[in-house]
Amino acid sequence: MSTDLRALPLPAPDPRARRSLRLASGTALCLAVSFGLGLPVPMVTPVLGVFLLTSLNRPMSPGAALGLALVVMLTTGTGLLLVPILRYYPASGVLLVSLCLFFAFRYGLRGGNGLVSTFLVVGLTMISAAGTFDFGLAVTVIEALVKGLLVAVMALGLGHWLFPEPAGAGAPPAPAALPDVQAARIALRAALVVMPAFLLALNDPAAYLPIIMKAATLGRQSCTVSARGAGRELLGSTLLGGVLAILFWAALSLFVHLWMYFLWMLLFGLLVARKLYGLSPSRYPPGFWVNTLVTLIILLGQSVQDSAAGKDVYTAFAVRMGLFVGVTLYAWLMVAWLDQPRGVRQLSG
C-alpha cells in the first residue's frame, strides 16, 4: 500500500504577535531613551515611535530614512516660514495655516504617504505656534522632532531585528485613495478639528503643545471615522487613555525609576497592542487603540515633567484632561456636522 503523501501547503504565518511585541517594545524604548537622555519635549519621541511602528511593517532602508529626514526638514522649514506672517499678519497667517492643513490631510487621503501627511500637520502647527511666541522655542521643537524621529527609526530597526516579520507574511494593503470630493470633505473636517488647538497654542505654546499633538492625532483619527461611531471612538479612546494614564501613574509611584518607567510602558503597550492587532477581541478599529496609546503617552509624559518641575501633578492632569475632552468633543461635533449634509442627501434621494 502506497504511503506517499502529497505535501500540503502550510498556512500563512500570523505576524500579529510579533507586531504587537514590536510596537510595545519600540514605544517603551523610545520613552526610556527620550526621558533618559533628557531630549527636548520628551513625549514627542514615543508618539512619533507609535506613528512609525503602526505605519510600517518593514524596517526602513537608509535611503528611506534619509528621505523621511528630508520630509521633516521640509515640514519644519514650512512652519518657520509661517512665523513672520503669523506675527505681523495674524488673520492671513491663520488662514494660510488652515489651507496648508487642508492640503496636508488631503494629500494623505488621496493615496499619499500617511507618515508624510502626519509630519506635515505636526510641523505646520507646533513649530509655527512656538515660533510666534519665541524663536528659541521653535528651534527646541524642531530639535525634538528631529531627534525623536531618529530614535523612532532606530527603535523600528531594532524591533525588526528582535521580532522580524515571519517569512511569507504579506505586506498590508495600501489604503485606497478616496475620490476628490470625499477626500476634500474629510480633509476639511480634519483641518477644522486641529485649528482650535492651534489657535489656543498661539497664546501660550509652551503650555499647549500637548494639546496640539492631541489635536493632530484626533485629526488623523477623524479621517477614518463616520458620524455614527465618532462619539464612541473619539471620546472613548480619549477617556480610556486618561484612565490608563492614571493606572500607569499609580503603578509607577510604587517604585520611581527609569527602568520601571520602561517596563510599565512595555506592559501597557502590550495590552493596547493586542487589541490594536486583533490578538484580543475588540469591537473598536485600530485607530481607536492608536489614539488611546498616544493619549496615554502624552498625559503621562507631561505628568512626569510636571513632577520633575515641582508642579502640582494632579491639578495639572485634571486641567489637561479637561482640555483633551473638550478638544475631543469639538472633533466629534465637526464630524457630525460635516457628515450631516451627505446623510440628508442620501435620505432625500
R_g of the chain, CA atoms, integer Å = 21
3-class SS letters over the chain: CCCCCCCCCCCCCCCHHHHHHHHHHHHHHHHHHHHHCCCCCCCHHHHHHHHHHHHCCCCCCHHHHHHHHHHHHHHHHHHHHHHHHHHHCHHHHHHHHHHHHHHHHHHHHCCCCHHHHHHHHHHHHHHHHHHHHCHHHHHHHHHHHHHHHHHHHHHHHHHHHHCCCCCCCCCCCCCCCCCHHHHHHHHHHHHHHHHHHHHHHHHCHHHHHHHHHHHHHHHHHHCCCCHHHHHHHHHHHHHHHHHHHHHHHHHHHHCCCHHHHHHHHHHHHHHHHHHHCCCCCCCCCHHHHHHHHHHHHHHHHHHHHHHHCCCCHHHHHHHHHHHHHHHHHHHHHHHHHHHHHHHHHHHHC
> Left (φ > 0), alpha (ψ -120 to 50) or beta: where does 111 sit?
left
Task: Take residue 255 and report the three cell numbers written for it.
Answer: 517604585
Q: In tens digits, what is the pLDDT along the chain, a chain of 349 residues?
A: 444 445 555 555 678 888 999 999 999 999 999 999 988 889 989 999 998 999 888 888 777 777 777 777 777 777 888 888 888 888 998 999 999 899 888 888 887 777 778 888 888 888 888 888 888 888 888 888 888 888 999 999 999 898 888 766 655 555 666 777 888 888 888 888 888 888 888 887 777 888 888 888 888 777 776 656 666 788 888 899 999 999 999 999 998 889 999 999 999 999 999 999 988 888 888 888 999 999 999 999 888 988 888 888 889 899 989 988 888 888 888 877 776 554 444 433 3
Task: Take residue 13 and report the three cell numbers written for it.
Answer: 504565518
Task: Take residue 161 and report the three cell numbers written for it.
Answer: 531585528
Cα-based distances in Å from 278 to 16, 199, 275:
8, 37, 5
Instruction: Establish how many alpha carbons lie within 13 A of residue 342's alpha carbon, considering only the half-sphere containing its beta carbon.
Output: 12
The vertex-195 CA angle with 191 and 196, nearest 5°, equals 140
Nearest CA to 109 among 217, 173, 183?
183
pLDDT at 132: 86
Enumerate the domain spans of the chain: 16-164+178-340
Task: Determine the Cα–Cα distance for residues 85 and 89; give it in Å rounded to an integer.
Answer: 5
Nearest CA to 223 among 97, 112, 68, 129?
112
Listed in sequence order, the residues at least 6 apart from 8 whose beta carbon sits closer than 8 Å to its beta carbon are none
Task: Take residue 264 and report the three cell numbers written for it.
Answer: 510599565
Burial per residue of 96-121, b for 16 or more beta-carbon CB atoms within 10 angstroms, e otherwise: bbbebbbebbbbbbbeebbbbbbbbb
Contact 19, 27 (CB under 8 A): no
